[in-house]
Structure 1
Amino acid sequence: MNTHPVPKNETARVKALRNYNILDTLNEAEFDRLTELASIICDVPISLITLIDEDRQWFKSVIGLDVKETPRDIAFCRHTIMDTSILEVEDATKDDRFKNNEFVLNDPNVRFYAGYPLIDTQGHALGSLCVIDDKPRALTTKQKRALELLSKEAISLIIERRQKEELRNFEKLFNLSNDLVFVGGTDGYFKRINPAFTRIFGWTEDQLLNTRSFEFYHPDDIAASEKELEKLGKGQSTVNFLQRFRTSSGKYKAIEWTSTPEPSTGSIFGIGRDVSELILKEKQLAASEERQRIFFENSLGVMFTHDLKGKFLSINNAAADVLGHPRDKIMKASLYDLNPDRKDAVDAYLARIQLEKSIKGQTSTPQKDGTVKIWLYNSVFENTGDHEPYVIVDGMDITDRYRLEKDLVRTTQMLEETNRVARVGGWELDMGTGKISWTSVTKDIHGVSAGYEPDLSSGINFYKEGEDRERIIRVIDKAISTGNPWNEELQLVTANGEEIWVRALGNAAFEDGKCIRLYGTFQDINDYKLAELALKKSMDTQEKLNLVLLEQLEVIQQQDKTIEKIREFEFLADSIPQMVWTSNADGSFDYYNKHWYNYTGLTPEETKEKGWDTVLHPDDVKNDFALWEQAVATGQPYQSEIRLKRASDAVYKWHLARALAMRDENGNVIKWFGSCTDIDEYKRALDLENRISQFEDFNRIVAHNLRGPAGSIDMILNMMSASDTREEKDEYLKMLKQSSSTLIETLNELMKVLEVRNNQNLPYDDCDLNDITLNVKQMLTGQIISKKAIISTHFHIAVMKFPKMYLESIFYNMISNSLKYSKTDVPPEIDITAQNKAGRMVLVFSDNGIGIDMKRHAKNIFKLNHTFHSGYDSKGVGLFMTKTQIETFGGTISVESKPGAGSKFTITF
């Protein structure tokens, strides 16, 4: 037996039901009278008028139940709409279709059911009129007949209701239509007109109804109007009849009429539209098209059209010149004729324009003199339906620009390559905005990433502290004040901690006596400078040897590969306190200086046999070998921070390993030159700084997270002392215990965070946002009660991965700030939402507080020790700490606020 029946015309039935616009409407007395009458006639406690859509049974009228709808799959009436006659169930507990129904097993304990389907004029069963009892029984013949009549009355009310609605809609359409709507007679008089007549023509309704319409027609249109009226009198309709109608100002408007006669009443029903502007625009369009034709033919830009087979339909003079043929010849040809050797390219172009509808590109066409013209084109597929599809092409002759651009690109590449090889970069400082721009070589010299954004302070701080930094400050100040350029050789400390020598050159640009710009170049001269310093030192102690070395340097500059050059390189490499090594183009090592052997304790034979494996820290092997293999494969510079074991004490120390490739005149790598610099002290200092920062962050969390519970306890104690009744004191005592528990739990959580800090391992928890909110509310119980605050949440995602203590600290800061900066006479309203947008978690905290003046404080809102309102116990720590915590875990925070209009903080992870 089918316990879930569906009518064969289900789709049409549901559509018809929705067309009646009755679902989810308010109670109506007419329907309520029918259900009450059915209940009285059948002597039952429950009577319903039901309507059934795809998923539910909705009650238009109900007596004896407190619900307005039920799921369709448990409705008795879903069986009633399967037939056109009454469905009667005398005892539902004995009927296989209903004995397990929850309305039979539970309240209202249905036993008896009888219902007639509500069938409209199209045969759609929309629902039923039914009666229900909690005792088994059967209807009499008269009761069944009465139920049938009432069901027909119900469907009549539904149909009549829609007709009334349609009539009201027609009246609205009649009154609000911008078109002219009328009812007239064959005598030429209007019987009824809509308000559009008065708006468009300016006549009053009485003037239009009491004057024969021919009085308003243009004299030249009267004869044609009489013929149209005769046709209407014979029962023929009028379609798109154009007529000029006089306005109250004496001017005429062009009206397009469509009218239909009703012979039985002698009435004419018509609609008119003011097409005066349209006719005017058509005239203007014709003039515009003529101007466009003149523009098209005389334009300096390339313009032509062609069909989908490539045949030319139109072309201007500039296009004919670019295509290299006279216009009359091109108009007889196609794209294939002008490109006989590029048939496949033309085929591909025609196929692509039909598929993509709009394409851009660059092409070339040969000229009669053997030259080639380069031009850009933009093709658009046009298919308006009024004619065969075609393609519009506009373009531009870029032959001269193309050649200049190629020369410019070639020159730019040569300049960039020269700068890269010479290690020369550029820089510029806009004195107005304070913005500094560095070229890629300049960033590479400083050891920063390509995305690094410098400023004047950080740029100066790269220079070695002491004389070098003071000297660059002096020459910059002098250039700004007097315009003097500078050329200095100075030492700086790169982002990687390496001390290198650079040559800094700068100039100043002035306007109206004021420095507006500083600019210059920046060159890595470290190798040169180290050699120079070593040379000078050697000259001081061994002048005679120095002279010999200088002579040898001149020889080295003229001979690329000599034994003397190798010896000098080895001498220089052995004299510096760094490990120096070289390798062949394939990455095989062939030289190490003395410092390598002294540090590692390896002999040349052991080094050749074992290489770096015995001295490199096991945890660094995989990453370092991968970086070296990548450098060898690509020819890009190699750089890696590694730990090398010192032979004297077997201690691993941090080193910065770097290598650059030497290339031949064809750009092929022929040699690698590398070094290892001791950066162990720098790494240890950096680690110490990070640990100090972590404990400072923890201290701020402790101060903030304990402040709330402690403040709540103090506030509750004050309220207890002011309380007069035992019940209030007991209630405050419960709150005090809860705040005390929250304080203890907060301390425990802080201890867990401290343990994590000490282990340098911060885990992510499954944080329930509702629990987090509840914990914070408990911390701030006193403030929430005293200010009568309302905190509402809308969590579309209830759980997120995050360190719980940090997330709770963020929630605490956001909510406590909203409570603190609330209006004195308005209870705080705090709304918290959480949702996933484009794969990212978005938290929003908004309130109705006093707000922040963003024009004054936008730049400082998240800075340490900045406050924005006087008279509040504010330290300027909360927002700074919150932003720090959020950014630590890869998130961002932004704020929208106006004074007196509250604040909205958006956090994205």
Structure 2
Amino acid sequence: MIKVPLISNTSYLIRQLPSPTAFIDTNYNIVQTSDKWTSIFNKKNESSNSKSLFDVFPNLSHKWKMVLNNCFNGNPQPMGIHQAFDVNDKELWFEWTNAPWYDNEENIIGAIIQLSNITEAVKNELELNKKDLLLQQQAEITKIGRWEYNIADNKLFWCATTKSIHDVSPDFKPNIETALFYYKEGHSRNAISMAIFEAQDKGKSWNNLKLQIITATGKEKWVMAGGKPIYNKGEMVGLIGTFQDIHEQVEADIKTIDNEKLLRTLIDNLPVNVYIKDTESRKVLINKAECEYLGVDDPNDIIGKSDFELYPYEGAKKSREEDLKVMNTLRPILGKETINTTLSGKQTSFLSSKIPLLNNKGVAYGIVGISLDISQLKEKEKELRNIINIASVQNKKLLNFAHIVSHNLRSHSANFSMLLNFLENEKDEKEKTKIVEMLTRASNNLLETLDNLNDVVSINTNTNIEMKEIDLNSKILDTCENLASFISNNSATIENNIPVNFKVKSVPAYLDSILTNFLTNAVKYKSPDRNPLIILNAEKKGNYSVLTITDNGLGIDLEKYGEKIFGMYKTFHDHKDARGIGLYLTKNQIDAMNGKIEVKSKVGKGTKFKIFFNEKN
């Protein structure tokens, strides 16, 4: 027979119990609860009495019936921890305990259940587990492990990640002595040993030590080690730290550095100027050739400077406009021939290219410039043009010379043939004598022509002419002395305004010939209305010494004869002594010395010749 528990006399005491408490009978029905229980679980203080414990808590494990049955038999056991929701559906966690419920006769009539609210402890544990899980996941992703060292029991703890980095098994048990020997002998082992010593001796932390270890499988790895001492009541009790696998990162950094060195070596040894500018046209990178061009040893002397700080304003402005055009249009400038001038005045010819630097959005954030110094090529090109021009002139001279030789010798040959034919058929001795005289004159003319042609050939084929610095005044005095009778007979005056010690670079024989030809021509072709006046002046002009010879003679019609004035056998006046060879020879002599002649003349007024003696070569 089941006894119905009677607790009316003590119900007020039960209600005042400080912890949530419930009395249940042997049928698991709730008989009485404390007010604390009621306030937590009973909505609007409605009674849960006479209801089954498992109806009120449907999620309660039914295995607990066995626990309660054991309690009914006088053998109470822990019920453990159970989740529940209060009247506001707030999640709570309780630790359940039970004890037998006796009547006055010491018979067990049910069980007394008491709850202990451990919600905060459970939540803290869950949060800690969550953090541990997140920490573990983070360690797996970042390859950052943890370690702890307890000084009191000399024990070292490695987390799973730290063990994985060392290539040891999960059940491996490290110790502080053997752990040090995983570090590579030399710098790495010395550095970590010193760090641990200073931490224990001076309480000093260490961070971001980049070291090498040799794992249990013999692999070399780069790691980042950090650690610090921990204290309890002011006394050091151990060390704690992190251990990160950075091998891939270090290898990538080393490879990047190697690639940068390789690229830098390549750029610095290119036979072209290479530079990179930012959007403000400031240099952010230059190679060795660009340094040499700008006259610096250290690239840092140039880095950060704009074109306006390195070149004259006009050149810098033009370069800046080109930079903006390239960056705005994204169209490169390739192989443009330019002339750059530095602040020191150095001019250099370049074949330049400018290419836009684009980011991942296709926007230009600077330019790459490449410039090839073509100054020597331009000089060679100029020399080649000069050679071509000289060859062209020489070719024209050769053709002209061949024509003259052919024409003149043919004329002399025809004249000789005709005179000899007359001589052969002539019977009259007096006529024969006249023909012989004519043959003699023809022979002399042929010899003179051959001498003239020989002089021309000599000038144009003499490649070993020796140039000397000659005092011009002395040469003019010598020439005037040689022509003294000729000058005096023609009542000529020579006005010499050439500076004292004025020197020209010339072949002495050529200078004699040049002065003689010009002075004799100035007197020979005098005006019938006035006595000859020849004025001599000289000046230095660039790479030339310039001799100016001005006369007041007949003058030359340059419109009519300008292109023929230096031609062979070209005459411009009806003068009995005109041969047309003097100016031709003079022009060839001056050309042979890399000089030049300029002429101005007015008919009836006179002529001015400027002879340019090249002082450079």
Same fold, judged at TM 0.5 (above): no
Q: Shorter chain as normaliser: what TM range? A: 0.3 to 0.5
Q: Higher Cα Rg: structure 1 or 2? A: 2
Under a length normalisation based on structure 2, what TM-score does the superposition of the two structures give? 0.36
